[in-house]
Copies of this chain bind each other. A is one copy, B any other.
């Protein structure tokens, strides 16, 4: 539930979960070009995480169990905009990873139908990093 990828912002690199022997993670990439409160963003990220977890539980049971056993690690990253989000989605889908793109109902902070974030995984860290390893932490 922490940092990952090639670019790291914090000085706690030596204590990152992936250096603690954790092999699996779920990533959620959020758009940074939309104005959204931290609580709303958290709800969107949670939506992506629940949807991806349920997909994994249904179709990739072993992967799901491995990820849960490790503590269901999650990493929240940011993408520039919808273009980058959908580029990530295509790459992840082509790699056979679980994805779930979240469209907000637009009841409060954003227009109806706004795509806010995408969940990728759970999957092996290396498989996800090939696609999202260049993204920064949200």
Contact = CB atoms under 8 A, between A and B. Distances in A.
A63 to B, nearest CB: 15
Contacts of A1: 40, 43-44, 47, 104-105, 107
Given A15-B108, A42-B45, A50-B53, 10 more contacts: A10-B108, A12-B107, A16-B108, A17-B105, A28-B43, A38-B41, A42-B42, A42-B138, A43-B75, A46-B76
Interface string A78-122: 100000000000000000000000001101110000000000000
Nearest to A49: B46
Nearest to A77: B39
A74 interface: yes
